[in-house]
Amino acid sequence: MTEVLPADNNREVALVDLLDRVLAGGVVITGDITLSIADVDLVVISLRTLISSVGSLLPPADLADGAG
Amino acid sequence: MLSEGVWTYAVIGGEAAEHSFGRLRGVAGEPVRAVTGSGLTAAVGTVRLDEFGEEALRRHLEDLDWLAATARVHDAVISEIARGGAVVPMRMATVFLDDARVRGLLAARHDDFVSALDRVTARQELGVKAYADPKALTGECGSGEHQSGEKLSGTAYLMRRRRALASQDDAFRIAAAHADRIHAGLLKHAVAGKRKPASDRRLTGRDGWTVLNGTYLVDEGRVDVFRAAVATIDRNTPGIELEITGPWPPYSFAGDVVGL
């Protein structure tokens, strides 16, 4: 089993999980009280464009190093 | 023309003093401060719209370095506040036009925030991913995962029998069945759980299939039990590797109560 601790020194490893939560989770407020940026579609599109670059930043070896 | 906006991190119960978060710095390096109203407090920071406004954010969200750095700070602020008690995290990049509108939100959605805070109080979010090795599942290479003399669980025994016959398609069905069983098993130790879409394989950097991307809300007193359950399943399920992350602020369990 691999253990990843986002709050400690393995944050690099947890980037995918972090983005999965801060961009897809949390309370979404829409309407004219905010700027119209908390938009799920926008974020999904952004993540798609980021997949290749994120992948290159997270070689399998790094993930393996995260083993607790 | 506005030049500043109000980035929101989280909502907590009670009306905190203006400088309660004084030592915390936010996504723009700004001091995190409190906006209070209706018995609630929003942790916010004043940010420049030329970097954090709508147009700038659209541009920045495509910049991985910016995105990663900002996500880490957003999460770090929320995590730090969560040390002091229950938090309802705001989705990253929620920027209000001014404090008055933040207060307006606290008033308008007061009951929902209170419900969400109740739900996550004294609970933690833990993520569990399951990766399947198709070759191990279909027996294309020996499992080697069981030492002789180790007692096989019923599932593991059946797995071994099935491996001899299984094709790649079978492997996927087996992996999916494992994922269903693992999720159901973990739910027994959690207050709530949900399955999220699997991360892209290029994002996980793993060769195997991600068959489960689960996240679970667990009572603080049950976190050790939950972790032990994950470890046990990991040990007893050949061909499946589990990865646990967290604890996280309750990103996946506060929003569905308050969500608009």
Contacts of B65 (CB under 8 A, 6+ apart): none
Residues linked to residue B43 through DSSP beta bridges, in sequence order = B10, B34
> Token pair for residue B155?
């599932």
In this predicted structure, the answer to whether residue A65 has a pLDDT above a threshold of 50 is no
Domain positions in chain B: 4-121, 123-255
Per-residue model confidence (pLDDT) at position B204 = 59
A53 near B CB under 8 A:
yes
pLDDT digits (tens, 9 = 90+) for B95-143: 888 899 999 999 999 999 999 999 999 999 999 999 998 777 766 544 4
Give the range among A7-21, B58-72, B107-121, B200-214 with minimum mean pLDDT. A7-21
Contacts of B126 (CB under 8 A, 6+ apart): B215, B216, B218, B223, B226, B227, B244, B245, B246, B247, B248
B95 to chain A nearest CA, in Å? 6
B34 phi/psi in degrees, rounded to 5: -105, 135
B184 to chain A nearest CA, in Å? 19
pLDDT-based confidence at residue A3 (cuts at 50, 70, 90): low
Contact A28 B260 (CB under 8 A): yes
pLDDT digits (tens, 9 = 90+) for B167-194: 677 788 888 999 999 999 999 999 999 9
Start-to-end CA distance of chain A, whole Å, equals: 8
Contacts of A64 (CB under 8 A, 6+ apart): A2
Per-residue model confidence (pLDDT) at position A55 = 45
pLDDT-based confidence at residue B65 (cuts at 50, 70, 90): confident
In this predicted structure, the answer to whether residue B60 has a pLDDT above a threshold of 60 is yes
In this predicted structure, the answer to whether residue A11 has a pLDDT above a threshold of 50 is no
pLDDT digits (tens, 9 = 90+) for A53-62: 444 444 444 3
Per-residue model confidence (pLDDT) at position B258 = 57
Which positions 32-51 of A are in contact with B (Cβ < 8 Å)?
Answer: 33-38, 42-43, 46, 49-51
Residues linked to residue B7 through DSSP beta bridges, in sequence order = B45, B95
A41 to chain B nearest CA, in Å? 12
- Cα(B10)–Cα(B78) distance, integer angstroms: 6
Strand ranges (DSSP E) for chain B? Answer: 4-13, 33-37, 40-48, 88-89, 95-96, 123-132, 192-195, 209-219, 240-248
Contact residues on chain B for A28, CB-CB shorter than 8 A: 91, 94, 255, 259-260
**Mean pLDDT across A28-39:** 63
Q: Other C-beta atoms within 10 Å of B236: how many? A: 18
Q: Is B18 exposed, middle or buried (0-12, 13-18, 19+ CB in 10 A)?
A: exposed
Count interface pairs A-B at CB distance under 8 A. Answer: 162
**Mean pLDDT across B153-169:** 70
Contact B123, B219 (CB under 8 A): yes
Reported as type and span, the H/E element at residue B136 is helix B134-138
**Mean pLDDT across B148-158:** 71
Q: Other C-beta atoms within 10 Å of A56: how many? A: 11
Percent of chain B with pLDDT over 70: 86
Per-residue model confidence (pLDDT) at position A59 = 41
In chain A, % helix, strand, coil (3-state, to 5) comes to 45, 5, 45
Q: Is the ipTM of this complex over 0.95?
A: no
pLDDT-based confidence at residue A7 (cuts at 50, 70, 90): very low
Highest mean pLDDT, choosing among B20-24, B139-143, B231-235: B231-235
Per-residue model confidence (pLDDT) at position A17 = 84
Domain positions in chain A: 15-65
**Mean pLDDT across B155-174:** 73
Per-residue model confidence (pLDDT) at position A66 = 35
Reported as type and span, the H/E element at residue A32 is none
Q: Is B33 exposed, middle or buried (0-12, 13-18, 19+ CB in 10 A)?
A: buried
In this predicted structure, the answer to whether residue A46 has a pLDDT above a threshold of 60 is no
Complete DSSP assignment for B30-84: PBPEEEEETTEEEEEEEEEHHHHSHHHHHHHTT-HHHHHHHHHHHHHHHHHHHTT
pTM of the model: 0.79
In this predicted structure, the answer to whether residue B6 has a pLDDT above a threshold of 50 is yes
Handedness of CA B95, B97, B102, B105 (dihedral sign): negative
Q: For B85, left (φ over 0), alpha (ψ -120 to 50), or beta?
A: left
